[in-house]
Each structure stands twice: as structure tokens, then as C-alpha cells.
């Protein structure tokens, strides 16, 4: 789920510009107050980039520095644009345009077409695959279903990289692309596809950008009119910009430099569509005076999840890896990631379904759990396993919430009740807004208890239940609100595509999970041939697969389960092995030395002509000191380099012999349980099992020896050091420190 829908509560609009800045960390505040000139925000996963840029826009608007109608914020998906509009609305920044590149360009193209071209604008086709099929047939080239999809993707890539059909073969070879058919055949289909569009008077989504670029290049008067309208630009997910989108952005800007870009090269996972992180990494080359702000404080994930994510990127190579950000978790400790091997995919799915069933039974909402896989074809096995376990689920990438038939029907019913509710007997015994919504939706299939099983009936109920929950939160935030007020809220949310939470475990591909987060994530099928995918052969393709796994890891807030299977079907030949990306990270795997440079720390770099991310200590009053590079940890028994978080705490491999004092370990566990009971926090917030094991193996004599044990922070040393040392010395603990 998105951060915007993590809670359906309705926050109060800040009462002043300064109030907009409250709650931001020093680096986020730097972003929010840097309102002039070029600004580049390098934002790691979970560091609050959307929060920073929406507060930047809202602060500028509320302070009177930015005119709302002069700001254009662009991103890459309707969902992300809707989330941005929703947040800006909550911050009191009305009138700001937040759109995708395509929707912003389409509005301009529709407006200027009569003036620039004349006549009616061609019809926009939603899906180009049928046109591609017709073009292939006209060329007498037979394409199966998979080839048709892949040739369509090649045409899209060619257009966003501004490659004409005659140049396709050479451009594809230069880019290292493996064409689904002979490049000459792809070029032939591409050429005839363009001819068919002209004959049928239609355009595709890529044409929207190409035509807008063409008009702005050729018609200076129109370009100046657009530039007079928009004077401040914000671009989210800048690492995903294609050459065509970058050209459009340059034409929007003209000679000005009021541009703020936000991105993370380590989350570049769409290069197959023409996206490239070069525009992000070269920002200071194009704008030497730019301010660069690095966000590395991770508010999403526990230290255990963050450690795994950092370790995964530490093995990466290439230009994006040279600019990686080392995240620093701001959350309390959580459980270690769980790595599991299975005999086959069915067993892997059944184990995940059992664990999910138990998590839901323990109180974890189904909507806070996700199963992420590399390809959509893996979904069916997990759908069946979850259905067999009686666990509700939803497929990511399916129909948008406000487009669902039951949601549209519910909206009509609520609007009718708001208008004529005084004559509706259903509402006679409904004294408040939530009970009125429940009464209206009961006629559409909502019941207090969910229906048994899964499928269409359950999905319909989940949609209606989401509206009921939204009504409860809305009423709590707005006492005295009426059905009419709720209907107006739903209309605004529909326009922003700001959907309420739907209960159900999310099934999604790693690509479609980008930008989302859950309390619990199951990363499944993490085996060679699946991730990295079998057709990833070049170094660049392999590194993109690593970044894709990194995106998956960083979706988890608290619990992370990583699994793989040795074969596809029960009884099959066990010829698979875990993904190479897990080497050195999962228990028992061979160590892999970290490559490249240490990750960049957070802070602010003022414009002075250096290349972004390549040097320069953090400066300014809010700078975060650069972290020193750590010396590799080695097993004290066999000397092997340790990368697993649990092994690093023990300072030995899991399978090396332990010299732990079992009696001491049990006394420490009993003491920890009492500390947790007093503080009302989970036991691992005092010390994790691994840290207690490390203490029981080391048996420290003084604070200096205790402080050397990973997991014993200075804060915990001050709070619990005396007790732990007393227990190690065989004495009764005397303090009563509280848990972190």
C-alpha cells in the first residue's frame, strides 16, 4: 500500500507555512525550503522523498513564494500523481498541477492542436498491440502471443529513445538489446505500424510526447505560452526519465532553472522501457550551481531489513552502484529476515500461505502483507495456496479502486441517499454518518461479517468494507459531517485516485510493487533463472535484476521472508539454486566481497561545480557527518568474512562451533523478559536473541568489552550495561532500565 493510504485518517491542514515544516528532519527541511534554482534530491528507499517534495511545494505556496497555478509536478504513474495531489490537498496547497508526463503532455496537445496543426486531433488508442498485430500480418510476419508483446515493447522503446524505424537495428545493437525477432523484421513491423496509424487517424501514448515535443520545438509562440504558465517544476522518480521525457522537460523549462528533481539510482528498474539514471547522475554536470540533498534516514524499515538492503547493494557494480546511498534505519529493532528453501514451488507457496494465515490470526491486517514475485506467471500458484488457506487476497495491477463496478454503484447509492435521505426508511435508525453508510451499502452486498472463501464475492465485499472504514475515519476527523460531505470527499479522492485501504493480502510483481510498502513482505522464487531472470546476460542487465531485488527488500517495514524452491513441480528434478544475489547474505552461503565505494551519507551539498555524489563532505547547519567505512567482520573461529547480520553479532559463522555459556544465556533471557514486561515492549527491543547469544559467548568483564559486541549500542549500554555485567559476573542485577 502507499504511504498515503497507510492510514485512512484525515489529518488537519497546517494553519501556517511554518507549520508545514513541522516534523521534517533536517535534510527534508532543506528540500522544503530550497525553493529557487536547481535542486537535486537523492533519496533512498523509505526516506520520505514524497513527504519532502510535497511539503516543499506546500511551503512555497503557503508562504506566498510560489503561485499554485505556476507549479507543475510530474511523476510516472497515475497512482503516484494521485498520491501527490492527495497530500498537497491535506497540506492546503490547492491548485497545484500534479500529473504524469503523459497526462500533462496530453492536456497541452489537446489545447494547442487546433492552433498548431488544425482540425480534429487524432483518436488516442489505449492498447497498441492490435495495431502491431495488423502491421505484422501486412508484412507477412507471423508472431506468436509472446513475440507480439515483445515486438510491441520494442516499438515503445524505439519511440521513447527517439529512434526511427530505419535506425532501429543499429540503435538496438548499440544498446545491447536482444530483439524478439530479426531486427530487420522488427524495423519492418515498426515502419508499417506507423503507416497504419496515419491511415486510421490514431496516435499512441508515445506519440503524445513526440507530438508535444515537436510543437514546442517548432512553435516558439506556443512554447513561450507554456513557459509563462509554468515556472516551477518538480520531477519525481527522476531515475526513470527516458530521453524523450527529458527532452520534453527541457522544452518546458526553456532557459530557466527552477527545477527540483528527486530520485535514487539504486531503484532504476525500468531501463527496458528506455529509462536511464544518467539524467539524475549528471544533474550537477548540467547544473553546476545545483543544491544536492541526500536523504538516507530510513523511516520505513527496521535495522534488520535495512542491513540486508545495504549488504545487497554493497555487492553491486556499475555507475549506479558508485552512487548508492547507505540507508540508516530510524526504527526500533525487529526480527531478522527469514530465509527458506523448499523442494518445489507448490511447497513454497503453501508454506507462505500457512505463515500468512498465522500472521493474520496473530493480528496482522491482511492489507499489510504482500507476496512479491519476479513474473506475473508466478501469481497463480500463490492465488491457489491462499484460497486453500482461506486467506483473502488482491492482485496488484488489477482494476483501479474507483473504477470497480461495485464502487461506482456504491457511489451512486450514497449520492442518492445524500440527496433524498429524508425519505429513505433505511436511514430511519441510522443516527450518525457511519451507520448511514452501513445501511446504504447493506443493500449493495456489505455485511458486518465477510463472506467465506475468496473470489468475486469476497472482492466485492472488500471494496464495500473499505468504504465503510473510510466513512468511520471521516466521521472521526469531521464531527457532524453529513452524507453529502462524504460524497464530496469520495469525488475528490476519485479524481486524485487516492483509494482507501482494501483488506486482503497483496500479490504483485516486483516491478508493480515499486513505490509501495507493507509491514510484512514475502519475496518468493528468489532462485537463479528467476532473479536474475534467465534472459539477463549482460552486466548491466544483471545489475538491474539486483536493483529489482533491492526494491523488493525495501518494501518491508518489519518482517521479511525470502524463499526459493529447488524445482518447479512436485517430484521434479531439483536443479535450481538460490539466487547469486543471496550469496554472503543468507546463512550458510559463501561470502562475497563488497565491491566499489562505500555508500554515500546524508547531507547537503551546495552548488560549487562538482559532480553530484562524487565527493565533498556534507556541509551546512543540518549536515549529517559522513560515516566511516567499516572494517570487514570476520569469523573468530574460521576467519571467513561475515556479511549476515546475525553472524556479525555472534562474530562467527552459524555453523562454526559455539562456546556459549548456556546457563548465562538463560539468565539473560529471563532478565530480558522482565525488562520487556516492565516497559510494555517486545523482548527484542531490549536485546535480540543473537545479541544475548553473543554476550553469553563473550562473557564481557567490563563496559569496554560489552560495547564491542554488535547490537550493544551506547544507549543500551547506558541503560542495561550494569545489569548485563552483573549477570555475567554471577551477581543479581540491581538496575531497572527501560527498553529502547
Q: What angle do CA 128, 243, 156 make, to 5 degrees?
A: 15
* Virtual torsion, Cα 194, 199, 201, 207, nearest 10 deg: 10
Q: Would you call 553 helix, strand, or coil by DSSP?
A: helix
If you search the block for the grid coordinates 467465506, which residue do you land on? 452
Residues 455 and 432 sit within 8 Å (Cβ to Cβ): no
Q: Rounded distance, CA 282 to CA 663, Å?
A: 58
Numbered residues of the known binding site: 43-50
First to last CA, the chain: 28
β-strand pairing of 518-523 with 556-565: parallel
Could you say which DSSP state residue 737 is in?
Answer: P
Residue 501 CA, chain-centre distance (Å), reads 16
Residue 138 CA, chain-centre distance (Å), reads 42
- Rounded to 10°, the helix 345-361/379-388 angle is 50
Q: Rounded distance, CA 641 to CA 656, Å?
A: 13
Rg for the chain (alpha carbons), in Å?
28
The residue among 492, 221, 462, 504 whose CA lies nearest residue 365 is 504
Residues composing the chain: 740
Q: What is the DSSP string of 36-87?
A: SS-EEEEE-TTS-HHHHHHHHHHHHHHTTSS-GGGEEEEESSHHHHHHHHHH
Numbered residues of the known binding site for ATP: 43-50
Q: Rounded distance, CA 220 to CA 317, Å?
A: 43
Give CA separation, 231 vs 34, 482, 494, in Å. 15, 39, 28
β-strand pairing of 259-263 with 232-235: parallel
Residues 256 and 232 sit within 8 Å (Cβ to Cβ): no
* Virtual torsion, Cα 349, 354, 359, 363, nearest 10 deg: 130
Q: Rounded distance, CA 76 to CA 209, Å?
A: 13
Q: Cell digits for 109? A: 496537445
State the sign of the Cα–Cα–Cα–Cα dihedral 158, 103, 258, 620.
Answer: negative
Query: How many C-beta atoms lie closer than 10 Å to residue 176's C-beta?
Result: 11
**Phi first, then psi: what are they for 201, rounded to 5°?**
55, 50
Give CA separation, 411 vs 399, 404, 468, in Å. 17, 11, 12
What pairs with residue 325 in β-bridges? Answer: 600
Give CA separation, 164 vs 161, 168, 172, 215, in Å. 9, 6, 11, 18
Query: How many C-beta atoms lie closer than 10 Å to residue 715's C-beta?
Result: 9
- 532 upstream amide cis, omega within 30 of 0: yes
Residues 295 and 27 sit within 8 Å (Cβ to Cβ): yes
What pairs with residue 552 in β-bridges? Answer: none
Query: How many C-beta atoms lie closer than 10 Å to residue 170's C-beta?
Result: 12
Give CA separation, 221 vs 116, 226, 227, 250, 669, in Å. 10, 9, 10, 16, 75
Query: How many C-beta atoms lie closer than 10 Å to residue 734's C-beta?
Result: 8
If you search the block for the grid coordinates 552459524, which residue do you land on? 654
Q: What is the DSSP string of 34-45?
A: --SS-EEEEE-T
Amino acid at each position: 500500500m502507499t504511504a498515503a493510504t497507510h492510514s485512512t485518517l484525515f489529518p488537519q491542514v497546517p494553519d501556517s507555512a511554518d507549520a508545514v515544516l513541522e516534523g521534517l528532519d533536517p535534510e527534508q527541511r532543506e528540500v522544503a525550503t530550497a525553493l529557487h534554482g536547481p535542486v537535486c534530491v537523492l533519496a533512498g528507499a523509505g526516506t520520505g522523498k514524497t513527504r519532502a517534495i510535497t511539503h516543499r511545494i506546500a511551503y512555497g505556496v503557503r508562504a506566498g513564494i510560489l503561485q499554485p497555478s505556476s507549479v507543475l509536478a510530474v511523476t510516472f504513474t497515475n497512482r503516484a500523481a494521485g498520491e501527490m495531489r492527495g497530500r498537497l490537498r491535506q497540506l492546503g496547497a490547492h491548485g497545484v498541477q500534479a500529473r504524469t508526463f503523459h497526462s500533462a503532455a496530453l492536456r497541452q496537445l489537446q489545447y494547442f492542436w487546433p492552433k498548431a496543426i488544425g482540425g480534429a486531433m487524432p483518436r488516442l488508442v489505449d492498447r497498441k498491440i492490435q495495431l502491431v498485430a495488423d502491421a505484422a500480418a501486412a508484412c507477412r510476419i507471423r508472431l506468436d502471443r509472446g513475440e507480439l508483446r515483445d515486438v510491441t515493447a520494442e516499438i515503445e522503446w524505439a519511440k521513447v529513445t527517439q529512434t526511427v524505424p530505419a535506425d532501429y537495428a543499429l540503435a538496438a545493437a548499440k544498446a545491447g538489446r536482444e530483439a524478439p525477432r530479426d531486427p530487420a523484421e522488427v524495423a519492418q513491423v515498426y515502419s508499417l505500424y506507423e503507416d497504419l496509424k496515419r491511415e486510421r487517424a490514431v496516435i499512441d501514448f508515445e506519440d503524445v510526447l513526440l507530438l508535444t515535443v515537436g510543437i514546442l520545438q517548432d512553435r516558439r509562440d506556443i512554447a513561450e505560452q507554456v513557459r509563462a504558465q509554468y515556472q516551477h517544476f518538480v520531477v519525481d522518480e527522476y531515475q526513470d526519465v527516458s530521453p524523450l521525457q527529458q527532452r520534453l522537460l527541457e522544452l518546458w523549462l526553456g532557459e530557466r532553472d527552477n527545477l527540483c528533481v528527486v530520485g535514487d539510482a539504486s531503484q532504476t528498474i525500468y531501463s527496458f522501457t528506455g529509462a536511464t539514471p544518467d539524467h539524475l547522475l549528471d544533474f550537477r554536470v548540467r547544473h553546476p550551481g545545483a543544491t544536492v540533498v541526500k536523504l538516507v534516514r530510513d523511516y520505513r524499515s527496521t535495522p534488520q531489513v535495512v542491513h540486508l538492503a545495504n549488504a545487497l547493494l554493497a555487492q553491486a557494480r556499475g555507475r549506479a552502484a558508485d552512487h548508492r546511498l547507505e540507508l540508516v534505519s530510524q526504527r526500533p529493532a525487529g526480527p531478522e529476515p527469514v530465509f527458506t528453501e523448499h523442494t518445489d514451488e507448490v511447497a513454497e507457496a503453501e508454506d507462505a500461505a500457512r505463515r500468512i494465515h498465522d500472521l493474520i490470526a496473530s493480528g496482522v491486517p491482511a492489507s499489510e502483507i504482500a507476496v512479491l514475485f519476479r513474473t506475473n506467471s508466478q501469481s497463480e500458484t500463490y492465488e491457489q495456496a491462499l484460497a486453500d488457506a482461506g486467506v483473502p487476497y488482491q492482485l496488484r495491477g488489477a482494476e483501479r479502486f474507483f473504477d470497480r463496478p461495485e464502487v461506482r454503484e456504491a457511489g451512486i447509492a450514497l449520492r442518492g441517499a445524500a440527496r433524498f435521505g429524508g425519505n429513505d426508511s433505511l436511514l430511519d435508525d441510522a443516527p450518525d454518518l457511519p451507520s448511514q453508510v452501513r445501511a446504504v451499502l447493506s443493500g449493495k452486498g456489505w455485511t458486518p461479517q465477510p463472506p467465506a472463501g475468496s473470489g468475486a464475492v469476497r472482492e466485492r465485499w472488500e471494496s464495500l468494507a473499505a468504504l465503510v472504514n473510510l466513512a468511520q475515519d471521516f466521521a472521526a476527523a469531521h464531527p457532524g459531517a453529513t452524507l453529502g460531505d462524504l460524497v464530496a470527499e469520495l469525488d475528490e479522492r476519485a479524481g486524485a485516485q487516492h483509494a482507501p485501504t482494501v483488506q486482503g493480502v497483496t500479490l504483485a510483481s516486483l516491478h508493480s510493487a515499486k513505490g509501495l510498502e507493507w509491514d510484512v513482505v514475502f519475496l518468493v522464487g528468489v532462485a537463479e533463472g528467476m532473479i536474475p531472470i534467465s534472459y539477463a546476460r549482460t552486466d548491466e542487465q544483471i545489475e538491474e535484476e539486483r536493483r529489482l531485488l533491492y526494491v523488493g527488500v525495501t518494501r518491508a517495514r518489519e518482517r521479511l521472508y525470502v524463499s526459493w524452491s529447488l524445482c518447479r513441480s512436485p517430484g521434479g528434478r531439483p536443479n535450481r539454486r538460490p539466487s547469486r544475489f543471496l550469496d554472503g547474505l543468507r546463512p550458510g552461503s559463501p561470502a562475497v566481497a563488497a565491491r566499489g565505494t562505500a555508500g554515500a551519507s546524508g547531507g547537503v551539498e551546495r552548488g560549487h561545480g562538482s559532480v553530484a555524489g562524487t565527493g565533498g563532505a556534507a556541509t551546512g547547519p543540518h549536515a549529517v557527518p559522513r560515516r566511516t567505512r567499516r572494517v570487514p567482520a570476520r569469523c573468530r573461529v574460521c576467519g571467513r568474512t561475515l556479511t549476515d547480520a546475525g553472524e556479525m553479532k555472534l562474530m562467527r559463522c552459524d555453523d562454526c562451533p559455539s562456546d556459549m555459556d548456556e546457563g548465562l544465556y538463560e539468565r539473560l533471557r529471563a532478565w530480558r523478559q522482565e525488562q520487556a514486561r516492565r516497559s510494555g515492549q517486545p523482548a527484542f527491543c531490549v536485546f535480540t536473541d543473537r545479541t544475548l547469544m553473543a554476550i553469553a559467548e563473550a562473557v564481557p568483564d567490563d563496559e569496554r568489552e560489552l560495547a564491542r559486541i554488535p547490537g550493544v549500542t551506547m544507549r543500551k549500554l547506558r541503560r542495561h550495561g550494569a545489569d548485563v555485567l552483573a549477570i555475567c559476573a554471577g551477581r543479581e542485577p540491581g538496575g531497572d532500565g527501560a527498553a529502547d
